[in-house]
Amino acid sequence: MSDDRIDHKAEAFALVNVDPMRGYAAVAYAQAQVHATLYLAEQQRIANIIALSQYRVNPAGLPNFRHLVWDFDDDGERLSAEIREGLGLS
């Protein structure tokens, strides 16, 4: 498998813009719905990671999850590369 990510949002928009007079329009619309759902799932995952990182105290002895969202270096903290990419900031 490749590490390349699929841009589900772009795929959904491309599939919705097919000519409805073509015979495969219904299939394209169904594929667009799948891509749109996967895009929403990715966004929800990012929101959950960001929410999880807000815990400053480790609940029930769990490890600190702030490293999933923030990169820490000499310049301070910034969003991790995965979160920046998911939010379209990279």
Radius of gyration of the chain (CA): 18
Q: Write out pLDDT tens, residues 54-89.
A: 655 555 655 666 666 666 666 766 777 777 777 776
State which amino acid sits at residue 37.
T
- 7-50, pLDDT tens digit by residue? 888 888 888 888 877 778 888 888 999 999 999 998 898 887 77
Q: Is 51 exposed, middle or buried (0-12, 13-18, 19+ CB in 10 A)?
A: exposed
The DSSP letter of residue 54 is T
